[in-house]
Amino acid sequence: MRIRRIGISVISLVAVAAMTAPLASATVTKKKTAPLSVLVTNDDGVGAPGIDQLVEALRKDKTLKVTVIAPATNQSGTGRKVTGGTLVSAPATTASGYKATAVTGYPADSIIFALDQGGMPTKPNLVISGINTGQNLGGITPLSGTVGAATEAAAHGIPALATSQGLGTTVDYPASVKQVTAWIKAHRKKITPVKGKKVKVTLDNLNTPTCKPGTAVRGLQVVAVATTFDGALSATEVDCASTLTNPKTDIEAFNEGYAALSNLPVP
């Protein structure tokens, strides 16, 4: 009898476990959070290679919902210029065929269209502008359309990241993609909405060098924006084999082989 009771108890426990397993699974499913909404734009135009490689990487992350709204044509160097009035837009795709919207206007216009003129039904959690072809450092930072679009997003109350890949014989966009995905991972908790709490708006400018063959980006340095133009447009000065540490400015960090991240003032 004793053995029989133990057998019955075991069977009962198995039965209870089987009945509760679906309930446990259902509980886990309910706890899943909604994907983070990311608006991607740029200043090189919707068909540019930089935005294409960024979008192709982000779309693989099932925890992100990616929307692309970008200028119809190259608008480099236009800063935060805006057209004004009702903007013209048209359906488009990135170079790899991802669905997008092309806006006739400046990079900042793409943000205005998305947020103020019905381009997106709801505000995104994050705006990423880039990947720009060529670095935006030091004194030229305010002139960058890539930075201009990110600045417009921050002015609308949305955390934003401007990202640019340094010039080189073959522009190394994957190096920027790696830095951007790492940035999202590091900042995700801060930019994810929590009921009753206001998300802090930040505006970051990320510049990643294109290293010479045989060398690689040395890591990330958070640095101040240099107040000069010196070296900002030069790719020949980049030395990813450098041993210098603790760079003081974005230009110095970039030219010594680091990805340079600078926090910009939110308008």
> What pLDDT score does 157 carry?
97
SS3 label, residue 103 = strand
Q: Give the whole-number percent of the chain exceeding pLDDT 90.
A: 80
Of 177, 173, 136, the closest CA to residue 264 belongs to 136
pLDDT at 39 over 70: yes
| Residue count (the chain) | 267
| 148 exposure class (CB count in 10 Å sphere: 0-12, 13-18, 19+) | buried
Centre a 10 Å sphere on the Cβ of residue 139 and count the other Cβ atoms it contains: 14
Average predicted confidence (pLDDT) for the chain: 89
Give the confidence band of 44 by pLDDT, cuts at 50, 70, 90: very high
User: In 67-159, which residue ranges form alpha helices assigned H by DSSP?
Assistant: 107-116, 145-155
**Cα distance between residue 179 and residue 258, in whole Å:** 11
Q: What φ, ψ does residue 27 adopt, rounded to 5°?
A: -65, -45
Q: Could you tell me which residues are beta bridge partners of residue 220?
A: 259
- pLDDT at 68 exceeding the cut of 60: yes
Please return the burial class of 93, using the count of CB atoms within 10 Å of its CB with bins 0-12, 13-18 and 19+: middle
Answer with the residue of higher pLDDT: 47 or 195.
47
**Cα torsion at 208, 206, 242, 211 (round to 10°)?**
0
pLDDT of 32 strictly over 80: no
Structure tokens at 32: 């899943």
List, for residues 109-167, the tens digit of each pLDDT value. Answer: 999 999 999 999 999 999 999 999 999 999 999 999 999 999 999 999 999 999 999 99
Question: Which pLDDT belongs to residue 237?
Answer: 78
pLDDT digits (tens, 9 = 90+) for 181-231: 999 999 999 999 888 788 999 999 999 999 999 999 999 999 999 987 655
Cα gap 49→5, rounded to integer Å: 70
In tens, the pLDDT along 154-178 reads 999 999 999 999 999 999 999 999 9
Which residues touch 20 (CB under 8 Å, ≥6 apart)?
none
- Quote the crossing angle between the two packed helices 49-58 and 173-191, to the nearest 10°: 50
- The Cα diameter of the chain in Å comes to 91
pLDDT at 233: 55
CA gap 173, 67 in Å, rounded = 20
Look at residue 229 in the predicted model and tell me its pLDDT: 67
SS3 label, residue 124: coil
Q: What is the mean pLDDT of residues 86-100?
A: 98
- The answer on pLDDT for 101 being more than 60 is yes
